[in-house]
Each structure stands twice: as C-alpha cells, then as structure tokens.
Amino acid sequence: MKIRTEHQNLGAALMQVAEDDNFTAINPLRVKGDKINNAFLINADACLFLKYGQEPKSTGEYQFTFSAEQLENIRASSQHYQKVFLGLVCVEDQEVCCLDVGQLNEMIAA
C-alpha cells in the first residue's frame, strides 16, 4: 500500500490522540452510511475531522478551506455525537490546533 503525503501529515495528529491515556480505539467515521475521508471516530463517542496545511501563507498564517460537503459532514456528525473536533495540522511549524465544532461555527460566522 502506498503512503501518501496526507497519511504522513494527518498521522502526526492521530499519534497525539493515540498517546492520550483515555484513548481506546480509532475507526473510520461514517455519516449517513458513507465513510468520510480524513475523519475518524475516536473511542465510541468523539469525531475528529483532520485538515492539513503544508506551510503558512505570506501573512504567516495557515489557510484551511472547506467544501460545502465537508461542512455538512461536520454538522451532521454534531447531531449524532456530543464531541466533534477539527484538527488542523500545520506541517511546517509541526503544530496541531484542535477546535471543537462550536469554535468552528463561531469562526465561520465571523
């Protein structure tokens, strides 16, 4: 099986999750029966959607974009799970920023 760049970049965030003392399982996330790319069910009660940016823009900030379908999958998950998170992997700076769905909605509204 080929290792793609996204596997390496998103794997870094998944390692952070797996090293937590409360971690027990990770599975693909399914929304309305469809497996969602780059989204995972952690333990049995938390959803994690992952995005990555290779390097910051000229402003020094990373830019993450979301399709309407991605946002719909996040919203649909939040109707079934109390814990829905978005992990933003900043590759060049080797950092992961984690937002809950409420924080994401606040940013979108702003």
Has residue 27 been placed in a domain? yes
- The pLDDT of residue 56 is 94
Average pLDDT (62-70) is 95
Q: What is the mean pLDDT of the chain?
A: 93
Confidence of residue 62 (pLDDT cuts 50, 70, 90): very high
Does 92 reside within a domain?
Answer: yes
- pLDDT tops 90 at residue 5: no
Domain hosting 76: range is 5-99
Q: Where do we find the tokens 């971690």?
A: 23
pLDDT of residue 9: 86
Residue 42: CATH number of its domain:
3.40.1350
The answer to whether residue 106 sits within a structural domain is: no
Q: What is the mean pLDDT of residues 94-100?
A: 95
pLDDT at site 1 = 79
| Domains identified in the chain, total number | 1
Q: Return all residues near 91 (Cβ < 8 A) that are at least 6 apart.
A: 9, 52, 53, 54, 55
